[in-house]
Amino acid sequence: MGEAKQPILRTSHCFVIEPACLQAVFDGGILAASDARAYNDPLSHGKAAMKRIADERVLVLDFGSQYAQLIARRVREQQVYCEIVRHDVRAERIRELAPMGIILSGGPSSVYEPGAPKCDPDLFRLGVPVLGICYGMQLACEALGGRVENTPAREYGRAQCRVVAENELLAGLSGQIQVWMSHGDQVAQVSDDFLPLAATRTCPFAAVRHRELPIYGLQFHPEVTHTPAGATILGNFLATVCRCSRLWKLGDFARQTIEELRARVGEDRVICGLSGGVDSAVVAALLSQAIGPQLSCILVDNGLLRKGEAASVIEEFTNHFRADLHVVQAQEKFLAALAGVVDPQEKRRRIGHAFIECFSDEAARIEGARFLAQGTLYPDVIESGGLVDGPAATIKLHHNVGGLPDDLDFELIEPLRDLFKDEVRRLGLQLGLPEEIVWRHPFPGPGLAVRLVGEVTKERLVTLREADAIVVEEIKAAGLYRKTSQAFAVLLPVQSVGVMGDARTYQDVVAVRSIDSEDFMTADWSHLPHELLAAISTRIINEVAGVNRVVYDVSSKPPATIEWE
Ligand code: XMP
């Protein structure tokens, strides 16, 4: 990490540390490019005298695949550190980064189309092992004398693949294996330098290797779970071909990060905002272990949190971590700010401002604070587009929640910026955080306010909070909480007619939303069992005063969004 003082992100809110909130942080390219560069240069990671476990790395060149991040996560599951870089990173730069291996991702283009993304062909001569996946394989084969064609026998979905030659990439596999294909193009012909390793009925080169160079290609996707042998294949590539020694262990990461944090912070004080979510909790847990009493946590209780959320964070950070915890009781302030507002963006704006005010007022009371800790994760870093070697920023829905005052002047500490969400969760467990916090579904910064369509009032918040708690309790009781990605209740600004006992009622409608998603950019509604939906509905109608109807949201994203506002 650079030693220069880091300017705080200038606009947009950046204290609430849920991953989704961080989308807001990067809204509009807020991180000045030069700062980002100094901060993000992977080479600067290695500045410390100590060899970092991240120094043994594999690079994924991103050709626009929806699976690039998944490939990187799979590599890390094999305990090898992995970074995603732009597809056209120069071969000299790759040499500088000294990766143990290179993976060329898939992508939506056709290699023979004008303007199709290409890699620097010199990378094939670096002597670094290369694995091309789908488009990446086609690119490698084409660059080294083969021909790629559109095939009438497109393959999408499961396919049976026959291993035709013994080799180190497919070691441990023989006969037929099930693989996941998704391609319209395929390698029609390879140069004499290549050897076919596997084939399907319609794809003669489902896996190939170069005879002399350590270059391999897979037409199928080893990174998806529909290729059951995918982990074996990636493991073979990493261990046998790249000779990685599997240094990337979260326990070591924690130890190393704690040491680095101690060295960087010295005698100074760090402020860390707690949001109730896992990322901020893990940052605080790491810092608590690194610098103990020099850490001050701030929890702004805006009255828009889920049931029991503030209480569990307070319990954890006072009783377990014994942190210097400042709880700002700001329920009334937020209610006042939201009075009469129905427009979702206006709600966000006002919540953002109120939050910044509360946070900075409290921060100003903490003497000697020099650093501000944030739970920025690797996907946020990639998607900000601010990395020197990283892929370009992806277009992403942002949720801007207001602006930071310019006079807040802390140096940023972002100890999770190398990690994926699943790694953060595992790290949280290792650091002793309870499962309840570690596995909590993500929650938007503006909280229940954007799940309460229409005006936010104290009474409506009570209704929504109770209904939401029932949704979560029942999904947990059915053992489906970890299978679903986000499940919650929404209070609609609609009354409907009902009958309770002999009386006619005219009461609120609650919508239940549960989605399954890998990355929250796309999502499917969860196909929950009918009995579970029935239990949720019965309990909400019986237990939550003022609600007489429950509906289930069966919309996917796109075209709907996950939240209703
Ligand atoms: P949507 O509703 O856009 O949500 O499909 C995608 C993810 O972002 C979260 N989300 C927000 N997070 N501030 C946040 O910090 C917001 O204003 C906001 N709106 C949505 C949402 O919960 C989901 O995880």
DSSP letters spanning 511-522: EEEEEE-SSSSS
- Of the residues 376, 520, 521, which should be mutated to test ligand 1's pocket, given the most ligand atoms within 8 Å of the CB? 520
Q: Which residues contact 327 (CB under 8 A, 6 or more apart)?
A: 299, 301, 310, 314
3-state helix, strand, coil in the chain (%, to 5): 35, 25, 40
Q: Is the CB of 138 under 6 A from ligand 1?
A: no
Q: Which ligand 1 atom minimizes the distance to the CA of 443? A: 22
Q: What residues pair up with 509 in beta bridges, in sequence order? A: 549
Q: What is the DSSP pairing of strand 57-62 with strand 524-525? A: unpaired
What's the CA gap between 565 and 563, in Å, rounded? Answer: 6
Nearest CA to ligand 1 atom 3: 561
pLDDT in tens, the chain (565 residues): 333 333 222 222 222 323 333 233 222 222 222 222 222 333 333 333 346 787 899 999 999 988 899 999 999 999 999 999 999 999 999 999 999 999 999 999 999 999 999 999 999 999 999 999 999 999 999 999 999 999 877 788 899 999 999 999 999 999 999 999 988 899 999 999 999 999 999 899 999 999 999 999 999 999 998 899 999 999 999 999 999 999 999 999 999 999 999 999 999 999 999 998 899 999 999 999 999 999 999 999 999 999 999 999 999 999 888 999 999 999 999 999 999 999 999 999 999 999 999 999 999 999 999 999 999 999 888 877 778 888 876 544 444 343 445 566 899 999 999 999 999 999 999 999 999 999 999 999 999 999 999 999 999 999 999 999 999 999 999 999 999 999 999 999 999 999 988 899 999 999 999 999 977 888 999 999 999 999 999 999 999 999 999 999 999 998 999 999 9
Choose among 250, 240, 215: nearest CA to 76: 250
Choose among 402, 487, 452: nearest CA to 565: 452
How many Å lie between the centroid of ligand 1 and the Cα of residue 4? 33
What pLDDT sits at residue 68? 92
Cβ atoms 439, 486 nearer than 8 A: no
Q: Is the CB of 22 under 6 A from ligand 1?
A: no
Q: Is the CB of 421 under 6 A from ligand 1?
A: no
Q: Is the CB of 355 under 6 A from ligand 1?
A: no
How many Å lie between the centroid of ligand 1 and the Cα of residue 399? 7
Nearest CA to ligand 1 atom 20: 444
Nearest CA to ligand 1 atom 18: 444
How many Å lie between the centroid of ligand 1 and the Cα of residue 442? 9
Catalytic residues: 134, 221, 223
Stated as kind and residue range, the H or E segment containing 153 is strand 147-163
Q: Is the CB of 21 under 6 A from ligand 1?
A: yes
520 residue type, one letter: F
Q: What is the DSSP pairing of strand 147-163 with strand 101-104? A: unpaired
Nearest CA to ligand 1 atom 10: 444
Q: Is the CB of 563 under 6 A from ligand 1?
A: yes
State the residue for tokens 């596999």.
173
Q: To 5 degrees, how large is the angle CA 192–CA 198–CA 204?
A: 65
The pair phi, psi for residue 351, each rounded to 5°, is -65, -40
How many Å lie between the centroid of ligand 1 and the Cα of residue 151? 40
Q: Which ligand 1 atom minimizes the distance to the CA of 397? A: 3
Q: What is the DSSP pairing of strand 176-189 with strand 147-163? A: antiparallel
Q: Which ligand 1 atom minimizes the distance to the CA of 21? A: 15
Q: Which residues contact 297 (CB under 8 A, 6 or more apart)?
A: 271, 272, 273, 274, 284, 317, 323, 324, 325, 326
Q: Alpha-carbon torsion 315, 317, 318, 321, what sign?
A: positive
Q: Which ligand 1 atom minimizes the distance to the CA of 557? A: 5
How many Å lie between the centroid of ligand 1 and the Cα of residue 374? 18
Q: Is the CB of 442 under 6 A from ligand 1?
A: yes
How many Å lie between the centroid of ligand 1 and the Cα of residue 186? 38
Q: To 5 degrees, how large is the angle CA 324–CA 423–CA 225?
A: 155
Q: Is the CB of 444 under 6 A from ligand 1?
A: yes
Q: Is the CB of 345 under 6 A from ligand 1?
A: no
Collapse the DSSP code of 280 into the 3-class scheme (helix H, G, I; strand E, B; otherwise coil) and give the result. Answer: helix
Q: Which ligand 1 atom minimizes the distance to the CA of 22? A: 15
Task: Characterize 433-455 residue by residue with b for buried, 16 or more Cβ atoms within 10 angstroms of its Cβ, and e for exposed.
Answer: beeebbebbbbbbbbbbbbbbee
Nearest CA to ligand 1 atom 17: 399
How many Å lie between the centroid of ligand 1 and the Cα of residue 444? 5
Stated as kind and residue range, the H or E segment containing 503 is strand 503-516
Q: Is the CB of 398 under 6 A from ligand 1?
A: no
Q: Is the CB of 446 under 6 A from ligand 1?
A: yes
How many Å lie between the centroid of ligand 1 and the Cα of residue 19? 9
Q: Is the CB of 18 under 6 A from ligand 1?
A: yes
